[in-house]
Amino acid sequence: MSLRAHSITAIPTRLNGNNFRSRIEARWSIFFNEIGIEFEYEPCPYKLEGGVWYLPDFWIPYLQSFIEIKGGKPTRQEIWKAKQLAIVTRRPVYIFWGRFGVPSHQYVRNATDSAYIYRPYIQRGKIKVVSDNAHWWCECSYCHTISIQFEGVTNEICDCFKSHYLYTAEGFSTTRLVMAYLEASRTKFK
């Protein structure tokens, strides 16, 4: 049975002046606040191919990226919209879906706690989109740079791995990130 079949009905939630369409979106906003990442919730609608209008969940200025939150595995139409948004805006689009919490390597095969990424690029004058999965929030343990990378490996977000003998590339479970996941997970909504 698919994760989509087990999706929970979205419960609109007001938090910190935002009217989130679901509690999982509200939880992600708490996570962003806890790690010190500014965000804009539903920044503005974008016109996609075929005249379809789309309102992304989050814009993360620091990463120059959009983030979409889904309770279950994204549908083909949701993936199409993410790809179109990447083309129209020429910015990466991440879709986080499934369970909320600290990523675990045991879930990599099913990617139920990670994000898909849709990254635009230009080939022969046309905008194309490359996609990948298993992207997680991560933090460099030396300079504390935060980003989203494949399996939370931090060797591409800063140059620390080049200059530190004891560098740990897996930065998806740093104290800061774990505490942010926990705070967002245990928040009770009215």
* Mean predicted lDDT score pLDDT of the chain: 85
Is the pLDDT reported for residue 125 higher than 50?
Answer: yes
Six token digits for residue 128: 């194309």
Confidence of residue 104 (pLDDT cuts 50, 70, 90): low
What DSSP designation does 175 have?
H
Q: What is the pLDDT of residues 128-187, one digit of tens each?
A: 999 988 888 888 888 888 999 887 777 777 877 766 555 556 678 888 999 999 999 999
Whether residue 80 has pLDDT greater than 90: yes
CA distances from 151 to 4, 13, 154, 158 (A): 23, 30, 9, 16
Does residue 66 sit in helix, strand or coil? strand
CA pair distance 26, 19, nearest whole angstrom: 9
Residue 106's pLDDT is 55
* The pLDDT of residue 101: 79
Query: What confidence score (pLDDT) does residue 162 get?
Result: 66
Task: Report all structural domains of the chain as residue ranges with CATH numbers, in order of start.
Answer: 4-135+171-186 (3.40.1350)
Q: What is the pLDDT of residue 157?
A: 78
Confidence label for 5 from pLDDT (cuts 50, 70 and 90): very low
Could you give phi then psi for residue 119, rounded to 5 degrees? Answer: -115, 125
pLDDT number for residue 56: 97
Predicted pLDDT at 109: 47
The whole-model pTM stands at 0.87
